[in-house]
Amino acid sequence: MRKILKSPTGLIGTVLLAIVFFVTVFGPWVAPYDPQAFDPINRLAGPSLQHWLGTDQYGRDLFSRMLNGAPSTVAFGLGATLLGVGVGSIIGVIAGVAGGRTDSIIMRILDGMLAMPELLFTLLIVTFLGGGTTQAMLAVAVTFTPGMARIARSSVLSVRTREYVLAAQARGESQSWIVGREVLPNALGPIIVEATIRVSFAIMIGATLGFLGLGAQPPSTEWGLMVAESRQFMFRNPWCVAVPGLAIAITAMGFNLFGDALRDAFDPKRSH
């Protein structure tokens, strides 16, 4: 952790993430207005003392809406990633440990899934499952699975032929002990790093789905949906698009920078 804070990337990433998590946890309580309260007189207003970041087309306070949208947006990113990484890693570890025919079959199927562009694949799944936050989350998780499985598999493969694993095999250790104690702890680093970076992708895909109307449904304060809803009024009040857009950007950047720093900290070649 100290190593992460020492690099500029890591420090900025950590600070951004700290802000994001603070807003996620306390945002709804701190919000000065009800995020759904209409104020017809102050529609599409710029920042003022009354409304710090301005208002949207119904006169709803953008600051409050942004704070209220944080939990659902971040939870979406984390949830989709956890699900995708979890399932993907399990598949990858199975493929890596089993090897041979099992490995070939699993990897060929995943290759087929990888051949489709990520967003297109997500859209396809959402069309099957129907719109909504949970469905969108599932869709993102499914899209992440093949990539994560590949990373987990390569990580396991590189550890599996190390001499300490061979030593455990020669000792006659059980397969589960070898996987659980010798292989996994040493293969986990790249998986964790990749997962952190993927949270930012998940948030962005989630926002995209929200924007396309396939994710969260109105009157949700999900950031992507906020951008979509106020798109028509972009020229009258740029703030109503910029505020949720910037919030997405900051969150994604926080996870991305933190993930980069985490990778550097895990990589013995980069640290002194």
Partner 1 sequence: MSNRIRTDDAGSKIERPVLDVSHYSMLYDTEAGPVTALDDVSLKIWRGETHALVGESGSGKSTLAWAITRYMADNARDTNGAILLSGEDMIGKSRWDLEALRGKRIAMVFQDPSSSLNPSMRLGDQLAEVLVRHRGMTWDQARTEGEAALDRTGIAKPKEMMQRYPHEASGGEKQRVVIAMAFACNPELIIFDEPTTALDILTANQILDLFVRLREETGVAALYITHDLGLVARIASTVSVIHKGSIVERGDLSKVFAAPEHPYTRKLLAALPRPEDRLALPAPETDAPLFEARDVGVKYNTPGWLTRILDSNAAPLWGARHISLDVRPGELLGIVGESGSGKSTIAKAATGLNPYEGEIRFDGRTFPSRDDFDRQYRREVQIVFQHPDASLNPRETIGGILSRPLKLYGLVSRGRVAARVRELLEMVLLPADYANRYPHQLSGGEKQRVAIARAFAAEPKLVICDEITAALDVSVQAAVARLLVNLQKRSGAACIFITHDLNLIRQLAHRIVVFQRGALVDAFDVADAGTPDRHPYTRALLDAVPVPHSVDLSADPMESLT
User: Where on the chain is the footprint of partner 1 (CB under 8 A)?
Assistant: 162-164, 166-167, 169-173, 181-182, 185-186, 272
Shortest Å, Cβ 104 to partner 1: 10
Shortest Å, Cβ 109 to partner 1: 19
Quickly count: other Cβ atoms within 10 Å of residue 113's Cβ: 14
Identify whether the C-beta of residue 66 lies closer than 8 Å to the C-beta of residue 243. Answer: yes
Minimum CB distance to partner 1 smaller for 101 or for 115: 101
* The pair of three-digit structure tokens given for residue 144, joined into one six-digit string: 């992440």
Minimum CB distance to partner 1 smaller for 162 or for 231: 162
Minimum CB distance to partner 1 smaller for 117 or for 180: 180
In the chain, which residue ranges form alpha helices assigned H by DSSP? 2-6, 8-30, 62-98, 100-114, 118-129, 133-160, 163-171, 175-177, 184-211, 223-229, 239-266
Shortest Å, Cβ 166 to partner 1: 6
Minimum CB distance to partner 1 smaller for 7 or for 42: 7
Shortest Å, Cβ 179 to partner 1: 13
* The pair of three-digit structure tokens given for residue 133, joined into one six-digit string: 């936050």
Phi-psi region of 15 (alpha: psi -120 to 50; beta: other; left: phi over 0): alpha
Quickly count: other Cβ atoms within 10 Å of residue 35's Cβ: 20
Shortest Å, Cβ 185 to partner 1: 4
Give the up-direction half-sphere exposure of residue 264: CA atoms within 13 A in the CB hemisphere. 20
Identify whether the C-beta of residue 74 lies closer than 8 Å to the C-beta of residue 203. Answer: yes
Shortest Å, Cβ 173 to partner 1: 7
Minimum CB distance to partner 1 smaller for 130 or for 185: 185
Minimum CB distance to partner 1 smaller for 107 or for 225: 107
Q: Is the dihedral of CA 112, 114, 120, 122 positive or negative?
A: positive
Identify whether the C-beta of residue 264 lies closer than 8 Å to the C-beta of residue 271. Answer: yes
Shortest Å, Cβ 200 to partner 1: 28
Minimum CB distance to partner 1 smaller for 9 or for 42: 9
